[in-house]
Amino acid sequence: MSTSTESKSKVTPGTEKIKPTYISLVQFTDKGIQGAKQTTQRVAAWAAKVQSMGVTIKQMYWTLGQYDQVCIFEAPDDETAASVLLAADMLGNIRTQTMRAFTASEMEKILAKVP
């Protein structure tokens, strides 16, 4: 796997930091199902709103099965990710379960710290 496709954000000139990636499993609430025809517009509005906080939606999939959507996004840190997820959940259309995802290079750093 190449690390050249990992998103990077400028921290200071000459220093780059890889933004953490998150994967959210999303379920519609009863309210969300009733407004399902607006789901793509809601996602677009949410993406635009959180962009100013450094959050980027990399992929959004609408799925069959237990979950209605899978969202892959980047945020500057866990606190920012948690705040935008809480804000999305508070709108009442969805409930989320979110996992922090690690790239191969991030996993190599983790493995290097294993005692």
> Which tens digit of pLDDT belongs to each residue from 68-110?
999 999 999 999 999 999 999 999 999 999 999 999 999 999 9
pLDDT on residue 17: 73
Global pTM? 0.82
Flag whether pLDDT at 3 surpasses 50: no
CATH class of 14-112: alpha beta
> Token pair of 42, please?
């809601």
Cβ contacts of 83 within 8 Å, gap of 6 or more: 53
Q: What pLDDT sits at residue 16?
A: 60
Helix, coil or strand: residue 12: strand
pLDDT digits (tens, 9 = 90+) for 11-31: 455 556 789 999 999 999 999
Order the strands of the 56-62 sheet from edge to edge. Answer: 56-62, 69-74, 21-28, 94-101
